[in-house]
Chain A
Amino acid sequence: MYNSTLSFGCIIVFVSVLLPVFSFSQPTLQLSGSWSCTVQAANVTEAGNDFPSTWTSPPDQVLLSVGGANAKKNRDWTVCVSRSDIDWDPAITVYVVRSSDGTANNPATIAGGAAFQQVTLLSAYFFNGSRNRSNIGIQYQLNGISVLLDARVYSTTIVYTISSP
């Protein structure tokens, strides 16, 4: 009876140790940074004019890092992007571009995302690559900014999803 109990306990510990190994079967994504855009009176060049309609963040405003992608079976990955509105106005459109490649060891690759694309409520392809890569730069652009919008704070969540084929 005690032998079976001890065996059962060993099995639990064995499975626990193996769980992280199983988790490395798919690539992972880490993100740093965010963007807060402020539009105010000083941005109107002269009375009678509207706000500039397009606002662009600095390059590499947000950084993405891909990990867990060095094993043979999960080497290739694809990143998709979407947004989930918290308090937004549909007249304001969001665009995203990959502003830099980040850093990686050869023979890692990266492709796509080199031109601004609209971020919608539906997840869409952004860029793809292979193997681990750090600090991939992301830049944003907002269109449709106008004094015709209510003066307040708007917010949305930008979501990046990584997957292996």
Chain B
Amino acid sequence: MRQEMEYKRFIRHLVDGPQLEKALLRLSLIFLLAMACIWALNAQTSANHTLTLSIGELALLDIEPGASSVSLNMDIPTGAGAPVQLLSDNTIWLNYTSCVAQTSPDRIISVQLSSGALPAGVSLQVTASAPSGIGQGALGISAGAVLVTGTPANVLSGIRGCYTGNGTNNGSQLTYNLVFNSYQDLEAGDYGPFIISYTISN
């Protein structure tokens, strides 16, 4: 009871007491609060920092083996009246690496005849195989056989984060075929060189 009265007197004193006493008491409380803050700040039993990893988008493509060239010739028929046999070539592979943001669209690989003109009556066809080898990820889907012209044509689509592996026997194998459109337009001769370009893009 007596303690309670003392406590009430103390509180009343805070509000109604003499100015000097009130000021000293308030200063003491502020000092206590400040020291508590300083104590809390200095008594660090843990410390931390942020570690960040930034992965950027990329799209890389090359042809293996390096410095490749293809020669497509007509094979001499076995007998008169037999059709001309055209040889194909499948020595070239596409290797590629792709890294995309989640919101970025799928990537494609397209082919284009970027230099040279095919002779009359002849078309060039290429087929990119389904990706194989040691690669992983979303390697894409083959479009099957497409004509190689001056207009880009997709050979692979649906490519996202992936890598094919390096070198032949990894990635997509390219098979080239010559197609005769009309025999009467054919003229004997050596044609070329032609430059065929592959591009990986969004």
A47's contact among B21, B25, B60, by CB below 8 Å, is which? B60
Give the size of the chain A interface in residues (CB under 8 angstroms).
68
B60's contact among A36, A41, A145, by CB below 8 Å, is which? A41
Whether A165 is near chain B, meaning CB under 8 Å from some CB there, is: no
Map CB proximity to A onto B78-105 as digits: 1 under 8 Å, 0 otherwise. Answer: 0000000000000000011111111010
Interface of chain B, main secondary structure: mixed
Kindly provide the distance from the CB of A28 to the nearest chain B CB, expressed in whole angstroms. Answer: 5
Chain B positions within 8 Å of A44 at CB level:
58, 60, 97
Chain A positions within 8 Å of B101 at CB level:
150-152
Task: Report, as a range, how many residues of chain B touch the other chain.
Answer: 35 or more
Chain A positions within 8 Å of B9 at CB level:
1
Chain A positions within 8 Å of B162 at CB level:
147-148
Residues in B17-43 with C-beta less than 8 Å from chain A: 17-18, 21, 24-25, 28-29, 31-32, 34-36, 38-39, 42-43
**Given A38-B54, A40-B58, A153-B54, A4 contacting B6 (CB threshold 8 A):** yes
B62's contact among A13, A19, A48, A94, by CB below 8 Å, is which? A48
B165's contact among A35, A48, A161, A162, by CB below 8 Å, is which? A48
Chain A positions within 8 Å of B24 at CB level:
6, 9
Whether A106 is near chain B, meaning CB under 8 Å from some CB there, is: no
Whether B171 is near chain A, meaning CB under 8 Å from some CB there, is: yes
Kindly provide the distance from the CB of A94 to the nearest chain B CB, expressed in whole angstroms. Answer: 7
Whether A30 is near chain B, meaning CB under 8 Å from some CB there, is: yes
By the criterion CB–CB under 8 Å, are B45 and A20 in contact?
Answer: no
Kindly provide the distance from the CB of B137 to the nearest chain A CB, expressed in whole angstroms. Answer: 5
By the criterion CB–CB under 8 Å, are B46 and A161 in contact?
Answer: yes
Map CB proximity to B onto A131-165 as digits: 1 under 8 Å, 0 otherwise. Answer: 00000000010100111111111111111111100
Whether A49 is near chain B, meaning CB under 8 Å from some CB there, is: yes
Residues on A facing B (Cβ under 8 Å):
1-2, 4-6, 8-10, 12-13, 15-17, 19-20, 22-23, 26-31, 33-41, 44, 46-51, 55, 62, 64, 83-84, 86, 92, 94, 140, 142, 145-163
